[in-house]
Structure 1
Amino acid sequence: MRKVVVIGGGITGMSTMHYLQKQAKEQGLDLALTLIEKDAQIGGKMVTKQRDGYLMEVGADSIVSRHASVRKLIEELQLEDRVVYNDTGVSYILTENQLHAIPEDSVFGIPMNEQALNKSTLISEEGKKAVLQDLEKTELPFTTNHSVGEFLTYYLGEEIVQKQVAPVLSGVYSGDLNKLTIASTLPYLFEYKNEFGSIMRGFEANKAFYQENAKKKFISFKNGLVELFERIEETLENATILKNTSVELLKQDTNGYKIQIDTGEWLDADEVVLAVPHQVAQKLLKEEPFQRDFEELQTGSIITVYLAYDLPNDVLPADGTGYIVSSGNDVDCNACTWTSRKWRHTSKDDKLLIRMFYKKNNPRFEEFCQMTNDELAQIARQDIEKSLKIIDEPTWIDVKKWFDAMPIYNLQHKQAVERIEKQMVKYHPHVHLAGCSYYGVGIGLCIQNGEEVATRVMNQFIQRQREFV
């Protein structure tokens, strides 16, 4: 029986386990699967908490529904009847203490057509004229390795990028747009420009797709994202999941690998999957060439604060789901989600639940990191009072700090990952790197990566069988 050990119980690791089992059954191969997770619960950065009738996602709050891997996994796990969708609504940008709606028919703040552009209250007439240059500039002096900021500014102009696009994209990808590549953020924009000669024409040609997905853009489950992990765990057979367990050492031997866990016990493996943050992989892969390239990979940090109020949801602006902070404001936060408005299942009594975000690119972030939870709660309360004019006392506040947890795909990221992959083939051909540290931000991409890694592991076993025969 072949043995596979997956280290890391986040979405990539659990997806890998699911697809290893699925493919092993399809190919009639006996596999013994073990997953090692350092925390008491699986889920990684997807953590569901319940408190006093409220449901909180203290990490990722939802899954983008349009990625093909998402729907596929949900169907395989027979979770369709547990799915809930976000309430559609207006997202705002807070600029100079005023909320400006991001127009419908916009994607990450990028207008899909002239009508959406003209609805923007953030962009001047001169700025709107600059956007229309996209229809005339049909040349393509870029590759997908150029920065997405440079690319968008060239075609759409600086004003809309700085005022309407950058606040949204920086919130999603946790970085400076001029240091993030097209390939790692919005590669389809490059394809639109190449095929249609215009970003907006590309959006217009795919308008039906975006409009359909906008209605049900995000998904969760009735009891939160934890349901996805609970279902994967309960469907695994001939599998061992070790929680509250850390890996101390990864050692290669003539028969594969030996893995020492924090109890002192050694586990054997034919193939190993490292579905962990790159900092953890760096400690386990001790060869010097890895160290230099791992240092090239960057991460971001975030502090989030949930505040529950004994107030109805209708104290919020009508049909809104939250705001992103731009420039010239009195608030300290980077963004604010009106959780109970966006996700009706998070508040049983239709009472107000708000989530505030403070990110590493915030000018005060280092100061925030030194604050107590009570001090951070006070900052969040002040931000809500300034931006939403809510002066009532919250019934409770929950603070969560994620330090160096979110990958940032800078311009050197792809090359660093390629060098690491070459070293893996040389030093550890039966160890597989997986996860968002390398291969894409977003739960859909992580699920896809889990399936790809499972396929790669299975191919290793099939190849060995052929060589043995």
Structure 2
Amino acid sequence: MKTVAVIGGGITGMSAMHYLQKFANEENSEINLILFEKDAQLGGKMTTVERDGYLMEVGADSIVARHSSVQPFIDELQMQDDVVYNATGVSYILRDQKLHAIPVESVFGIPMNLNALAESTLISEAGKKALEQDLLKQEVPFTLESSVGDFLTYYFGDEIVQKQIAPVLSGVYSGDLFSLTIGATLPHLLTYKKEFGSIMKGFEANKEFYEKSAAKKFISFKNGLISLFDRIEATLENARIEKETSVTAIEKVENGYRIETDRHEAIIVDEVILTTPHQVAQKVLADEALNQALESLQTGSIITVYLAYDLPNTVLPADGTGFIVSSGNDIDCNACTWTSKKWQHTSKNEKLLIRMFYKKNNPKFEQFSKMSNDELVEIAKNDCRKGLGITEEPSFVEISKWMDLMPIYNLQHKQAIQQLEQIMNEKYPKLHLAGSSYYGVGIGLCIQNGKEIAEKIIKG
């Protein structure tokens, strides 16, 4: 019987466990599964906290619904009745102390048509006219490895990129638009340009897809994202899950791999799926040959602050779900989500719950990272006062810090991954690097990554 060890109980690791079992059952093959998770709770960066009638996701807050891996995964786990969707509403960009609505018919601030462009209150007439280049410039001097910032500026002009697109995209991918590749962010835009001669014409040709997914863009669950992990764990058979157990070393031996932990005697397994952040992989493998590629992988950090208020949701704009901060503001956060308005299930008493985001690309982030929690609370309260006019004291706050754990796919990412894959294939057959450090930061991509590796192991 083959024994497979999965290191890390985040979404990649748990989806790999699910699909290892599923494919083994379909192939009528026996398999012994073991998972090691350093924390007391599964979930990784998908962590739910309940307090005083509020439900707070202190890591990722939702799953992008339209990724092809997501719905089948939910169906297989029979969690359809637990799914909740985000409330539809307007997202804003805060600039010059004013809230500007991001046009509804836009994707990450990118207008899908001329109507969406006309609706923008952020862009001057000259800036709007610059988008004609999307129709006039037919040449495509870009590849998937080109900067997405350079690509969008070339066809749309600098103003809309800087004022409307960059605040949104940089927020989603936690990086500088000009250091992120097209392939790692919006690869379909390159396809649209090549096939239709225009990015906006590409959106128009795929209008039905975007209209269908617009109302239900994001998914969560009635009891929070953590319930996804509870369900996977409950459905696993013949699987051993070791929580509060850190893997300290992985060594290649004649019959597979020797895994050492801080709690048990070493075990020998046939194959390993290593889903931890790349810094942990570097430590447990301790191989100089891998260091250069692993050290070139880039990460970001984020601090988030939840503030719960004994106020009704109606104190905020009725049609809104949050704002992203652009330049020219006397406010410190990168973004603000009106959680109790965007996700109704997060506030049982329909009281206001707000989440502030402070990211590594924030000019003051180094200063914030050294602050005490009390100091961070004062920063967040001040941002609520300046950005939303809320002067009341919060009933409680919840702070979370994810330091150097948010993968950023810079222009060198693909080359580093190719180098890693070559070394792994040569020196570590049947040891699989997986997860957001390498193959996609979105939850849907992580599910897909876990599934693909499981299929490779079981079906060969």
TM-score by length of 2: 0.99
The worse-fitting range, judged by mean Cα deviation, of 4-13 and 283-292 is: 283-292
Alpha-carbon distance, 1:115 to partner? 0.3
Note the alpha carbon deviations across 1:416-453, whole angstroms, 9 max, x for none: 01100000011101100100100011100000000011
* 2-structure distance, mates of 1:212, 1:430: 41
Matching of residues 332-371 of structure 1 within 5 Å? 332-371=332-371
Aligned counterpart, 2:388: 388
Matched residue type, 1:148: V
* 2-structure distance, mates of 1:4, 1:441: 24
Matched residue type, 1:232: I
1:399 aligns with 2:396: no
Alpha-carbon distance, 1:287 to partner? 2.1
Matched residue type, 1:79: M
Note the alpha carbon deviations across 1:281-325, whole angstroms, 9 max, x for none: 111222212001111100000000000000000100121000000
Aligned counterpart, 1:61: 61
* 2-structure distance, mates of 1:292, 1:264: 31
Matching of residues 239-388 of structure 1 within 5 Å? 239-388=239-388
1:104 aligns with 2:104: yes
Aligned counterpart, 2:445: 445
1:221 aligns with 2:226: no
Alpha-carbon distance, 1:264 to partner? 4.3
Identity %: 67
Alpha-carbon distance, 1:132 to partner? 2.0
Note the alpha carbon deviations across 1:187-234, whole angstroms, 9 max, x for none: 000000010000000001111111111100001000000111011000
* 2-structure distance, mates of 1:280, 1:417: 16
Runs of 4+ aligned structure 1 residues displaced above 6 Å come to none
1:230 aligns with 2:230: yes
Aligned counterpart, 2:122: 122
Classify the secondary structure of the residue corresponding to 1:353. Answer: strand
* 2-structure distance, mates of 1:171, 1:457: 36
Note the alpha carbon deviations across 1:387-414, whole angstroms, 9 max, x for none: 0001011100111110001000000000
The worse-fitting range, judged by mean Cα deviation, of 451-460 and 141-150 is: 451-460
* 1-structure distance, mates of 2:84, 2:266: 42
1:210 aligns with 2:185: no
Classify the secondary structure of the residue corresponding to 1:366. Answer: helix
Matched residue type, 1:5: A
1:199 aligns with 2:199: yes
| Preserved contact between residue 309 and residue 352 of structure 2 (Cα < 8 Å) | yes
* 2-structure distance, mates of 1:423, 1:176: 29
Matched residue type, 2:238: N
Aligned counterpart, 2:433: 433
Alpha-carbon distance, 1:459 to partner? 3.8
Matched residue type, 1:13: G
* 2-structure distance, mates of 1:153, 1:442: 25
1:28 aligns with 2:19: no
Alpha-carbon distance, 1:78 to partner? 0.4
Note the alpha carbon deviations across 1:338-382, whole angstroms, 9 max, x for none: 000000000011100000000001111011111111110010000
Classify the secondary structure of the residue corresponding to 2:352. Answer: strand
| Preserved contact between residue 251 and residue 285 of structure 2 (Cα < 8 Å) | no
Instruction: State the aligned residue count.
Output: 460
Aligned counterpart, 1:113: 113
Matching of residues 10-29 of structure 1 within 5 Å? 10-29=10-29
Matching of residues 132-147 of structure 1 within 5 Å? 132-147=132-147
Aligned counterpart, 2:151: 151
TM-score by length of 1: 0.97
Gaps of 5+ in 2: none
* 2-structure distance, mates of 1:324, 1:34: 42
Note the alpha carbon deviations across 1:150-174, whole angstroms, 9 max, x for none: 0000000000000000000000101
Aligned counterpart, 1:467: none
Note the alpha carbon deviations across 1:43-89, whole angstroms, 9 max, x for none: 00000000000000000000000001000100000000000000000
Aligned counterpart, 1:70: 70
Note the alpha carbon deviations across 1:104-150, whole angstroms, 9 max, x for none: 10000000000000000000000000012101111111111100000
Classify the secondary structure of the residue corresponding to 1:410. Answer: coil
| Preserved contact between residue 373 and residue 399 of structure 2 (Cα < 8 Å) | yes
CA RMSD of aligned residues (A): 0.7
* 2-structure distance, mates of 1:8, 1:102: 38
| Preserved contact between residue 10 and residue 43 of structure 2 (Cα < 8 Å) | yes
Matched residue type, 2:410: N
* 1-structure distance, mates of 2:264, 2:398: 36
Classify the secondary structure of the residue corresponding to 1:41. Answer: coil
Aligned counterpart, 2:40: 40
Classify the secondary structure of the residue corresponding to 2:354. Answer: strand
* 1-structure distance, mates of 2:132, 2:119: 14
Classify the secondary structure of the residue corresponding to 1:28. Answer: coil
